[in-house]
Structure 1
Amino acid sequence: MDIHKVKLIDGQIALAADVRRKLDLHIGDTVLFDVREGEVRIRSARSMLRKIQAQLQGCPPGGGLDSEALSIEHRAKGKPE
């Protein structure tokens, strides 16, 4: 576990430079706070985007049902579109 002490200044959290480097944070970056059971997990929006992109790598483009395929499926089941 890598614990760092931070300061709350005028309602803002000030992260030390070494923490910002470890998180690859830069001035103006968007930061996401995940609050669970009294704890906070901080990550950059960029890292979250990378994680989502990695998860989508295995999905074929257009792999979901498009509206036409959904309409055909509903008609086959006798449902209104």
Structure 2
Amino acid sequence: MVRLPLTPAEVERGERLGALLRRARGERSMLTTALEARVSPETLRKIESGRVATPAFPTIAAIADVLGLSLDAVWAEINQPDNDHVPTP
């Protein structure tokens, strides 16, 4: 199966997601967080670094649960409007 290239918006959302998870994890170890969420540390590392811009929903739900994040908060963070882009009237 061939995956279509990610759009710039998808890449940006992935970067926002990674930044949110890194902030929420704080000083917790990546290994501990990944094991508690039942995902591999490599998967968590890739998501946090933005290399996996569109992770599976159950993966994000499990990580968010371990970090005490609501899915509403995750959704709001990754779908915030681009503050650098000024719409043309």
Name the TM tier (shorter chain): under 0.3
The answer to which structure has the higher helix fraction is 2
The alignment's TM-score, normalised by the length of structure 1, stands at: 0.23
The alignment's TM-score, normalised by the length of structure 2, stands at: 0.22
The answer to which structure has the higher strand fraction is 1
